[in-house]
Amino acid sequence: MMKTMLMRIFLFGLSSPGFLGVVHAQTGGGNGTGGGGPTGGGPGIGSAINLINPLACGNAVCVVEAILAAAFWISVPIVSIMVLWGGFQIAIAAGDPEKFSTGRKTIIYAAVGFLVILLAQGAVSIIRSILGA
């Protein structure tokens, strides 16, 4: 059951439009020599390759917000997994204080890490409102 669900999530991620198309390389036209091999499909001599900005931002605030948004969406499943793992460690501790402490630390560190990401997003919002951007 769990394996099937993970496989579906993985395949959904692969099929999403942004998965493989984060950075697109585009070629300009050739110089008329047909270059690129026997089919003539590649760029000719002197053509340029333009890379599209995956963040699509023009200023530093937008870039920081995009990075923090990505960190948030990545951290949500990681925090969930770490809390479950910490709970599992506590459940199998069987009275061993060291194992119990390890599970407790796992949960605390996951919560603190998530809190740091939330505070970073809040700090960017506060700075943006102060600067009027």
The two three-digit tokens of residue 87, written as one number: 């709970």
pTM above 0.85, yes or no: no
Q: What is the pLDDT of residue 56?
A: 72
The per-residue pLDDT for range 46-83, each reduced to its tens digit, is 678 877 666 677 777 778 888 888 888 999 999 999 99
Query: 34-60: string of b/e by CB count within 10 Å (b at 16+)?
Result: eeeeeeeeebbeeeeeeeeeeeeeeee
- Tell me the Cα Rg of the chain: 24
Mean pLDDT of the chain: 75
CA-to-CA distance for 126 and 131, rounded, in angstroms?
9
Q: What is the pLDDT of residue 23?
A: 41
Answer for the pair 65, 126: CB distance below 8 angstroms, yes or no: no
Per-residue CA distances from 71 to 65, 75, 96, 106 (Å): 10, 6, 35, 19
Give the residue ranges of DSSP H helices in the chain. 2-15, 17-20, 60-91, 97-131
pLDDT at 24 over 60: no
